[in-house]
């Protein structure tokens, strides 16, 4: 039953939709849901109505998206104008606006000033002041994710930056909630989500590394919880973590060849 439900008719042309829809509802109605005969009887009727609504909605959404995009463009222009006067603050905003150029994150919230923007600016200033002038590669607000301040930290300054996040009173992030690695095909990236529990503030920190010899300083000495997480990233993506106390595979067998989550991974034995 679950297989039927999961079959998403992907990329079906619009004209073929009604047929697909009725087929789906048929399978739904046939689903063994014994105690509700009334629901099963009604099932075939509503879908055409819902179909029309979806189309209308689609058009409306497109229109809204277009408007939002224009608004965002205007906001970006404004921010750029401000940047000429207002140093870092404006720079970060403008970067945020054109860094995601054309992506739908802008469609969702056309309002330019994010409530997290001051927090992001403060942290970026701190990193520049206490770690290094060029420690911050990129900084923006991830609006879809509850306006999460996102900072890309330069690889060579990562360890110092992480220490700052852990111990500086401004951030004071004692809790590392998640650590994941991503293979972007041109570079590798590790994403950290440190959290300040008292103020309930989360940050997103990213560190990038070259793809051939990926290596990022281990934060296990700073956040103990990174230990197994880094081992997992090493195992599945092949990123080295110098400074890690015990870097070996954790999920795959010790004699496994390759790192499965890399985009270019080819299994040694195709039968497996």
CA 174 to chain centre: 22
Q: What is the 3-state secondary structure (H, E, C) of 134-171?
A: CCEEEEEEEHHHCCEEEEEECHHHHHHHHHHHHHCCCC
Q: Does 13 bind other proteins (CB under 8 A)?
A: no
**Could you give the CA distance from residue 2 to residue 103 in angstroms, rounded to a whole number?**
33
DSSP characters over 212-242:
SS-B----TTT-TTHHHHHHHHHHHH--B-T
Closer CB to other proteins, 54 or 81, in the complex: 54
Q: Does 8 bind other proteins (CB under 8 A)?
A: yes
**Could you give the CA distance from residue 145 to residue 215 in angstroms, rounded to a whole number?**
28
Q: Which of 224, 242, 245, 257 is close enough to bind other proteins by CB under 8 A?
A: 224
Q: Does 167 bind other proteins (CB under 8 A)?
A: no
Question: For residue 5, what is the DSSP state?
Answer: H
| C-alpha pair distances (Å), 122 with each of 53, 118, 151 | 45, 6, 12
212: which 2 tokens?
């051939």
Closest CA to 257 of 240, 241, 270: 270
Q: In the bound complex, what is the minimum distance in angstroms from residue 85's beta carbon to other proteins?
A: 30
Please calculate the CA angle 232-238-239 and round it to the nearest 5 degrees.
85
Q: In the bound complex, what is the minimum distance in angstroms from residue 250's beta carbon to other proteins?
A: 6
Closer CB to other proteins, 68 or 83, in the complex: 68
Closer CB to other proteins, 128 or 211, in the complex: 211
Contact stretch for other proteins (CB under 8 A) within 88-96, 112-120, 123-131, 178-186 = 178-186
Q: Which of 27, 167, 178, 215 is close enough to bind other proteins by CB under 8 A?
A: 178
* Binding mask of the shown chain, residues 45 to 84, with x at each position contacting other proteins by CB under 8 A: -----x--xx--xx--------------------------
103 three-state secondary structure = coil
Q: In the bound complex, what is the minimum distance in angstroms from residue 209's beta carbon to other proteins?
A: 15
Q: Which of 134, 177, 215, 258 is close enough to bind other proteins by CB under 8 A?
A: 177
**Which positions lie near other proteins, rule CB under 8 A?**
1-2, 5-6, 8-12, 17, 31-33, 35-36, 38-39, 50, 53-54, 57-58, 100, 103-105, 107-108, 142, 144-145, 148, 150, 174-178, 180-183, 191, 193, 197, 200, 204, 223-225, 227-229, 232, 236, 249-253, 260-261
């Amino acid at each position: 039953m679950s297989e039927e439900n999961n079959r998403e008719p992907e990329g079906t042309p619009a004209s073929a939709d009604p047929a697909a829809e009725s087929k789906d509802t048929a399978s739904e109605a046939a689903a063994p849901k014994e105690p509700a005969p009334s629901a099963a009887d009604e099932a075939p009727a509503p879908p055409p109505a819902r179909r029309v609504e979806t189309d209308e909605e689609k058009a409306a959404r497109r229109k809204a998206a277009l408007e939002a995009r224009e608004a965002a463009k205007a906001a970006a222009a404004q921010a750029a104008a401000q940047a000429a006067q207002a140093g870092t603050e404006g720079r970060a905003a403008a970067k945020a606006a054109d860094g995601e150029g054309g992506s739908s994150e802008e469609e969702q919230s056309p309002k330019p000033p994010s409530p997290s923007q001051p927090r992001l600016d403060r942290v970026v200033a701190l990193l520049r002041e206490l770690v290094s002038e060029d420690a911050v590669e990129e900084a923006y607000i991830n609006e879809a994710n509850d306006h999460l301040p996102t900072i890309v930290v330069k690889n060579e300054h990562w360890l110092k930056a992480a220490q700052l996040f852990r111990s500086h009173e401004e951030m004071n992030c004692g809790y590392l909630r998640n650590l994941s690695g991503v293979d972007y095909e041109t570079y590798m990236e590790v994403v950290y989500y440190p959290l300040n529990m008292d103020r309930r503030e989360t940050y997103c920190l990213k560190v990038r590394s070259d793809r051939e010899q990926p290596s990022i300083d281990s934060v296990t000495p700073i956040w103990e919880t990174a230990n197994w997480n880094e081992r997992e990233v090493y195992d599945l993506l092949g990123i080295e973590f110098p400074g890690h106390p015990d870097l070996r595979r954790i999920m795959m067998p010790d004699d496994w060849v390759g790192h499965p989550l890399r985009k270019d991974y080819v299994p040694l034995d195709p039968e497996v």
